[in-house]
Structure 1
Amino acid sequence: MVIPTQYRTQAADEKACDLVGVDDFLKVMGDTPVRRIASDTMTLKPQDLPEKGSTIALLSYKF
């Protein structure tokens, strides 16, 4: 399970922030499945993990 945490959001000033948006990260990860979570928290259970490989969990960011 990959949970991206350090990326630019709309809360950052694009000219003053050297982070990139999460979409750039997702492009690099290629065909890795993405689970979009409609919350800024999640509960992770063993059965939520893929049997093999990785999954990206992308949480919502509240502004």
Structure 2
Amino acid sequence: DDKEYFYTTFIDKEKIKLLIKDIKDYDELVKEGKWVDRQCNFKSYGKQNAECEYCKMAEIYK
């Protein structure tokens, strides 16, 4: 079923390495206070004019 395809994925060693790198990058950026300066890549998946809830929360740190 095409509806279920969105939720079907295979996680290999390369994806795990990328996830670990993302977590390390996130940790470093948060500790340096630079996380809120990053570009947001939020995708609402069908909700029009949806605002990223994390960007909204981050406004208090700018």
TM-score (norm 1): 0.28
TM-score by length of 2: 0.28
Query: Which has more radius of gyration?
Result: 2
Which of the pair is proportionally richer in helix? 2
Q: Which has the higher strand share?
A: 1
